[in-house]
Structure 1
Amino acid sequence: MKKLLLFIAVTVLSFTAAQSQEFRLGAKAGLNVASLGGDSYGVGSLGSRTSFHIGGLVEIPLMGKFSVQPELLFSSEGSNWTFTGLDDNLKLDYVRVPVLAKFYIIEGLSAEAGPVFGVLVNAKNDDGDDIKENFKTFDAAFGIGASYRLDMGVFFSLRYNKGLLNVNEDYEEEGISYSYKNQSNVFQVSAGFSF
C-alpha cells in the first residue's frame, strides 16, 4: 500500500512538473490605436486616438498546439472627434480581460482569438470633465491577432479588438435627448516577456 501511494505521489508530481514547464506568466505593454465605430456625434467625424495598454497574462497549455491565454490589462481607448476644425479627444479607460484561444502554427508563432471583456474606469474629454455617466460600465469585444515568442521569452503581438456592444448611455442635456450607437474598436501592437 505504501509503495502504491508513493508511486501515485511521484506520478502526480512528475505530471505537475511537466505541465508547469509549459505554463507561462508574463507582462506586456504597447500601443493602442482606438476609435469609436458607429454614429458620429451630430455634425463632425470620429477619428482614431493613439494611447497605450499595459498588464499581465497567463498562458495555459491545453493539448497539442492549443492553449488558452487570459490577460488583465489597463487599456486607454476612445476617439478623436473633429468638428469644423475643432478637435476634442474622448478618453475612455478600461480594465480589459481578454480570454484568448491560441493555436501555434509553427514554433513561436501563434494565432489567437476570443472574447475581450471590459469595465470602464474613467471617461474624460479634453477639458478634463468627468463624463463617465454618458457611457456604459461594461463592454465586450472580439479580439483576433497573432503573437511571436522568441526562445528567450520576449514576445511581440498584433491584435484587433472589434467592439460588440454599444458603449454609449442615452442621456439628456439641456432638455435634448441623445442616443448614439458606438462600439469601441482598438488595434494593438504589444511587446512583452513571459517565462
Structure 2
Amino acid sequence: MKPHALLLVLPLLAAAGSAHAQVGIKAGVNGAVLNGENIGMDTRYKTSYHVGVFARIPVVGPLSIQPEVLYSLQGSEFRSMLANYDTKLHYLNVPLLAHLKVGPVYVEGGPQFGLLLGAREDGTLRISAADGYGPVDRDAANNYKKTDFSLAAGAGLEVGSFILGARYTAGLNDVNDVADLNGANDPRLKNRVIQVSVGLKFGGD
C-alpha cells in the first residue's frame, strides 16, 4: 500500500482498536456528477458504486464518531454537440462523521477527504467536419487533481446489525487540473454524489 493511502486507513485502524468501538462493512449505489462553472457542456448524473468499511466510536449517549474508508467510483456524463463521453473517477474516500442515533433512526454529517486513484474517459468526440466523430478511451488522471475535500450528510435506519442509509456529499474544491493560457475561463468542476448503501455492523451498542 502506498504511504499516502496508509495514512487514510490509519484512523479507521485506530478506531477499530478501541474496546467499545463497533466495526462494519457497507456497499451501495452512487449517483455521481461533476458540476460547477465554465463547463461548456451538459453534465449528467451517472450510476456507479461504493464499498468499504467503517468504525463507530461512542462519545456520549447517542453520539458517536464514525470514520470510514470507502472505494468510490464517481465522475459524470458529459454531453454537447461535439462530445458524448463519460468520465470515471476512482477515489479512496475517508469520511469522518458525527453519528447521532435515536432508536432505529440515525443522522450523520462531517468532512470527507478523497484521494484520486485513477481516471478514465470513454465515449465519442467530434474530430473534424470531414472526419465526424471518433471514439474516446483514454487515461485522464492528469486532468484531475489528486485530492478532494467534501462535506457529507446523511440519514438512515438500523435494525439489529443491519443498516440502510442514504448520504449526499458535496465537493468544496475544484478538481479540474487542466488550465488554459490565462485561467479565467477554466472549467471549475466539483464532485456531487448521492449514495444509498446497505451495511452490517459488528459489536454491541
Please tell me the TM-score bracket, short chain as reference.
0.7 to 0.9
1:119 match: 115
Gaps of 5+ in 1: 1-18
User: Of 140, 145, 164, which aligns to 2:149?
Assistant: 140
Distance 1:157 1:92, change over 3 A: same
Alpha-carbon distance in structure 1 between the residues aligned to 2:157 and 2:82? 41
Q: What is the one-letter code of the residue matched to 1:194?
A: K
Is 1:31 the counterpart of 2:51? The answer is no
Show CA shifts across 1:96-147 (max 9, x none): 000000111x212111000011000111001331111111001010000012
Q: Match of 2:131?
A: none
Q: In 2, are the aligned partners of 1:134 and 1:171 still within 8 Å (CA)?
A: no
Aligned to 1:99: 96
Which of structure 1's runs of 4+ aligned residues deviate more than 3 A? 175-178
Indicate if the aligned counterparts of 1:101 and 1:112 stay in contact, CA closer than 8 A: yes
Unpaired runs of at least 5, structure 2: 1-17, 123-135
1:75 aligned partner:
72
- Alignment partner, residue 59 of structure 1: 56
Of 140, 148, 157 in structure 1, the residue corresponding to residue 165 of structure 2 is 157
Give the Å deviation of 1:24: 0.8
CA deviation after TM superposition for structure 1 residue 39, in Å: 2.4
Give the counterpart of 2:174 among 156, 166, 176: 166
- 1 or 2, which has the higher helix percentage? 1
Cα 1:157/1:123, change in 2 over 3 Å: same
Match of 2:10 in 1: none
Query: Relative to 1, partners in 2 of residues 1:85 and 1:154: Cα closer, same or farther, differing over 3 Å?
Result: farther
- Measured in 2, the distance between the counterparts of 1:80 and 1:40 equals 16
Percent identity reads 33
Tell me the TM-score normalised to structure 1 length: 0.82
